[in-house]
Chains A and B, each alone.
Chain A
Amino acid sequence: MAQPLTEGISHYLAGRARWHPLEIAFWLVALASIFVLPNKHLILTEIAILALFALSLDLILGYAGIISLGHAAYFGFGGYVAGLLAKHNIIAEPVLALLASGLAALILGFVTSFLVLRGSDLTRLMVTLGVSLVLREIANQVDWLTGGADGLQGVTMSPILGMFAFDIAGHVAYVYCLIVLFLLFLLARRMVNSPFGLSLLSVKGNPLRASAIGISVNGRLVAIYTVSAGFAGIAGALLTQTTQFCSLDVFSLERSADVLLALVIGGTGYLYGGIVGSVLFKLMQDYLANLTPQYWQFWIGLVLVIIVLVGRERMANWSAPVRALLSRVGPRAGRSVETARPSPADGP
């Protein structure tokens, strides 16, 4: 009896992990953007960084159900670590520095994850917000190291891998960010399609039942929170490396809220949500900021309110018709994608 069951399970997991034609098309479009839109690379770089940040938030929000209002803590921490490494020439090579920054944020995420385990949604909101505020305050106080309110200046980047120097038009920066985003996306995709990812969904669905079937709830939450913090740290490090500057602004509540908005626009719980949402969010922000430089936040707020009033699920399912069409065109994979979709309700 056991043999067919395990076979069935591995078949199911393989079906979940299969690449859908739409996904391949998505990354081809991303690849094409390098050549088709060469004069838009600066904003595309921002989009890629935000997308990575949103991806990291999706890991904890969409897959583990942790609401965070302070994810910028890890973003900013990674950013400052990357800036300091480059400024003091400790690790001059950007890719190594990126990994080091990610590792630093990962450790911070691990340490702080134990605070997030406790309490209700509200407690989590406050603790995550508190962590980002504490870090902001620390960065403000140790101005001999971080430059305080003036920001970290004098960051100069060495060429990537010793070969590709950052240029003023941002071409190298964009390709660099896109590659990092793609690699980390692959890692995240592998992770959420593994049994580990499934167990996270069960924890999100019902922690009590999950622990009853032998899943260590706290262990899973710590693990995913730690990984997510590492991703966010790498996103922050990318921002510092591409802008060669880092300020207290990286820890701000607005940043945490922006990434939450980007993720929600795209839809939580399917990895592409963060990326699609980031594209839409940045384009909207760019348009609004051109329209009303000072008051664009009002319109962002309005969008948030409307999203909630219209219904997040309905908004997130805007791509459903397209996917349904493609699942008919594509091979059998379409069906497994449909069955693999987590239930949209993430309430209690």
Chain B
Amino acid sequence: MLTILFDGIAYGMLLFVLACGLAVTLGLMNFVNLAHGSFAMAGGYITLILVNRNGVPFFAALPLAFVATAALGALFERTLYVHVYAKPHLDQVLFTIGLVFMSVAAVDYVMGSQQQYIQLPSMLQGQINLFGLNVGKYRLLIIVICGLLTIALQFILASTRFGSRLRAAVDDPRVASGLGIHVKGVFAVTFAVGSGLAGLGGALGAEILGLDPTFPLKFLIYFLIVVTVGGTSSITGPFLASLLLGIGDVAGKYYVPKFGAFVIYTIMIVVLIWRPQGLFARSAAR
């Protein structure tokens, strides 16, 4: 029971790191980025290449994956995404779906279509006894890293100058730019960091979620659930939504394996009927 809860929390935290960039960019620019999973996949494959082929230590590869994906995100944002912000949602959907298809086919071409595994250092394998509970070391690592990241993100959002600019821009971009906040610049940075976090999540999650070229399509629905259930106006909403989704998914697959996949969809539909604006959204919606 507790093990399931633990696994669920690890899974949920991972989902949060993967999806929080999407939540913020969506809230900030009202931009539907379905290609978010492609950045996560990029992070996973970068780590894979670094660790398996070049022998870079796993812990050194994680920050590299973050930086590389963030750079990739910044590049795409400046060259391609910037043209699509002002377009209707349908265009944004088409554009990002197109990017997903391209990334899936490109990774398939370069890396092959089979499932890939990152070689973990031996110290991360096996289980550890923690307060009388046997937990996987790797899952514990995920919880620790993602927990620290969440605290750091919360701190940045709540207590730094950049964070207050970002919150102002999310609340009302027009007024924020009127106050001299460079909304586009804020957005570019946020997009890059969000992509980087997705890349880090993809690198960490390769062990649990699996890594193959269809990753962006497989987890698209999870990201969307996190964002719509959690709302896009804060970081707490997506966080709680991720935990709910993670625990619900793991528990559902364990207790009712035959209907495991339905559990999250049921959660989603119930939440959307009950609170269409998201579970934790503030009432002042744009």
Would A301 and B32 be within 8 Å (CB), given that A69-B93, A347-B87 are in contact? no
CB distance from A294 to the nearest CB of B (A): 7
Taking the complex as formed, is B144 at the interface, i.e. its CB lies under 8 A from any CB of chain A? no
CB distance from A5 to the nearest CB of B (A): 34
CB distance B101 to A300 under 8 Å? yes
CB distance B109 to A295 under 8 Å? yes
Q: For residue A302, which residues in chain B have a CB less than 8 angstroms away from its CB?
A: 98, 102
Q: For residue A337, which residues in chain B have a CB less than 8 angstroms away from its CB?
A: none
CB distance B88 to A347 under 8 Å? yes
Bound state CA distance, A127 and B93, in angstroms?
14
Would A141 and B258 be within 8 Å (CB), given that A123-B228, A348-B88 are in contact? yes
Bound state CA distance, A269 and B105, in angstroms?
31
The segment from A211-219, A273-281, A304-312 found at the interface with B is: A304-312
CB distance B108 to A126 under 8 Å? no
Taking the complex as formed, is B95 at the interface, i.e. its CB lies under 8 A from any CB of chain A? yes
Q: For residue A67, which residues in chain B have a CB less than 8 angstroms away from its CB?
A: 89-90, 93
CB distance from B168 to the nearest CB of A (A): 22
Interface size on A, residues (CB 8 A): 43
Taking the complex as formed, is A133 at the interface, i.e. its CB lies under 8 A from any CB of chain B? yes
Q: For residue A119, which residues in chain B have a CB less than 8 angstroms away from its CB?
A: 228, 272, 276-277
Partner pick for A309 among B80, B228, B261, B276, CB 8 A cutoff:
B80
Bound state CA distance, A308 and B94, in angstroms?
7
Would A303 and B98 be within 8 Å (CB), given that A67-B89, A134-B262, A309-B83 are in contact? yes
Would A264 and B94 be within 8 Å (CB), given that A133-B221, A134-B262 are in contact? yes
Q: Looking across the interface, which residue of chain B has its beta carbon closest to that of A260?
A: B94
CB distance A298 to B89 under 8 Å? no
Bound state CA distance, A115 and B224, in angstroms?
16
CB distance B88 to A305 under 8 Å? no
Taking the complex as formed, is A137 at the interface, i.e. its CB lies under 8 A from any CB of chain B? yes
Bound state CA distance, A125 and B265, in angstroms?
14
Q: For residue B221, which residues in chain A have a CB less than 8 angstroms away from its CB?
A: 126, 129-130, 133
CB distance from A143 to the nearest CB of B (A): 11
Per-residue CB contact flags for chain A residues 238-261 toward chain B (1 = under 8 Å, else 0) read: 000000000000000110010011
CB distance A308 to B84 under 8 Å? yes
Q: For residue A163, which residues in chain B have a CB less than 8 angstroms away from its CB?
A: none
Q: For residue A39, which residues in chain B have a CB less than 8 angstroms away from its CB?
A: none
Partner pick for B101 among A61, A122, A304, A308, CB 8 A cutoff:
A304
CB distance A134 to B90 under 8 Å? no
Q: List B residues 196-250 near A (Cβ within 8 Å).
A: 217, 220-221, 224-225, 227-228
Q: For residue B227, which residues in chain A have a CB less than 8 angstroms away from its CB?
A: 122
Taking the complex as formed, is A121 at the interface, i.e. its CB lies under 8 A from any CB of chain B? yes
Q: For residue B276, which residues in chain A have a CB less than 8 angstroms away from its CB?
A: 118-119, 123
Q: For residue B265, which residues in chain A have a CB less than 8 angstroms away from its CB?
A: 130, 133-134, 137
Taking the complex as formed, is A346 at the interface, i.e. its CB lies under 8 A from any CB of chain B? yes
Interface size on B, residues (CB 8 A): 44
Bound state CA distance, A347 and B158, in angstroms?
34
Per-residue CB contact flags for chain B residues 103-131 toward chain A (1 = under 8 Å, else 0) read: 11110110000000000000000000000
Bound state CA distance, A346 and B227, in angstroms?
25
CB distance A305 to B269 under 8 Å? no
Bound state CA distance, A95 and B109, in angstroms?
43
CB distance A121 to B89 under 8 Å? yes
Taking the complex as formed, is A297 at the interface, i.e. its CB lies under 8 A from any CB of chain B? yes
Q: For residue A303, which residues in chain B have a CB less than 8 angstroms away from its CB?
A: 98
CB distance B80 to A301 under 8 Å? no
Q: For residue A346, which residues in chain B have a CB less than 8 angstroms away from its CB?
A: 88, 90
CB distance A304 to B272 under 8 Å? no
CB distance A308 to B262 under 8 Å? no
Bound state CA distance, A156 and B51, in angstroms?
53
A-B contact pairs, 30 of them (CB 8 A): A67-B90, A67-B93, A69-B97, A118-B273, A121-B90, A122-B32, A122-B224, A122-B227, A126-B224, A126-B228, A130-B225, A133-B221, A137-B262, A253-B217, A254-B217, A257-B97, A260-B93, A298-B109, A301-B99, A302-B102, A304-B94, A304-B95, A304-B97, A304-B98, A305-B80, A307-B94, A308-B95, A309-B83, A345-B88, A347-B87
Pairs of residues from A and B, 4 with the lowest C-beta to C-beta distance, nearest first: A304-B98, A301-B101, A298-B105, A301-B102
Besides A118-B272, A307-B98, A312-B91, 16 other CB < 8 A contacts? A61-B90, A67-B93, A119-B276, A119-B277, A122-B32, A122-B89, A123-B228, A129-B220, A133-B265, A134-B265, A295-B108, A297-B105, A301-B100, A305-B102, A346-B88, A347-B88
